Amino acid sequence: MKNKFVLTVLFVLQLSTLGSLMAEDKIKIAKTAEEVCPIKIGAAVPNALIRSIEGKETDLKEIIKDQKAIVIFYRGGWCPYCNLHLSELQNIEDDLLKLGYKIVAISMDKPEKLSETINKHNMKYELYSDSKANACQAFGIAFTVDDDYIQKLKSFNMDLETSSGETHHILPVPAVFLIDKAGSIKFDYVNPDYKARISGKLLLEAAKLFQ
């Protein structure tokens, strides 16, 4: 059973690598989630200014410098699917930390909103704001939400402008990137369907393969 699971992980890794190699080199903001072009497997982590919960601006490369890291992009604390995923990943948090990984979660929420998510999940890993959309663009997973979807979210009391403090209406496709000590991307999971997330079990197996 274990061998079958590992083979499944390797198959997923191969598909992920193929998808990334097909991505365009030019980084852009896609018109839809289906049109994003994620950064390639093997590429170096790009420079991207993000903000801490205190509002301090820092380059992501400096945050994870000389460390194995798992970088998680989620839409925001307002997203129920993101909250479910963050809760699931908490179950493997200690295992990932024991493997030596630094865990960084990045969303479009402005810094003031991050504390709400931290308090909700009692996390040990770090949350950062990408409300200026620097990181999601650098990783090739940024897209613009259309007006119909903005109104749909508002009907559920979810306001992107209030959460991000911005009017650009940019979101990241939810994604997870596994990065080695040299700052090279070794694995990714990027799915345009925001309801589909990598399981904690699969992410842990991928992390073990690249430790």
**In this predicted model, what pLDDT tens digit does every residue of 33-52 receive, in sequence order?**
999 999 999 999 999 999 99
pLDDT for the residue numbered 11: 41
pLDDT for the residue numbered 119: 74
The total of structural domains in the chain comes to: 1
Cα–Cα distance measured from residue 58 to residue 52, given in angstroms and rounded to the nearest whole number: 8
Which CATH number characterizes residue 107's domain?
3.40.30.10
pLDDT for the residue numbered 7: 38
Cα–Cα distance measured from residue 141 to residue 2, given in angstroms and rounded to the nearest whole number: 32
pLDDT for the residue numbered 1: 53
pLDDT for the residue numbered 6: 45
- pLDDT digit string, tens, across residues 103-118: 999 999 999 999 888 7
Which amino acid is located at 44 in the chain? A
- Cβ-based neighbours of 11, under 8 Å, separated by 6 or more: none
Cα–Cα distance measured from residue 184 to residue 88, given in angstroms and rounded to the nearest whole number: 26
- pLDDT digit string, tens, across residues 140-162: 999 999 999 999 999 999 999 99
Q: Which domain holds residue 82?
A: 2-209
Pick from 166, 138, 167, 155: nearest CA to 61: 138
- Cβ-based neighbours of 13, under 8 Å, separated by 6 or more: 187, 206, 209
Pick from 67, 72, 124: nearest CA to 99: 67
pLDDT for the residue numbered 194: 96
Ranges in the chain, pLDDT < 70: 1-27, 121
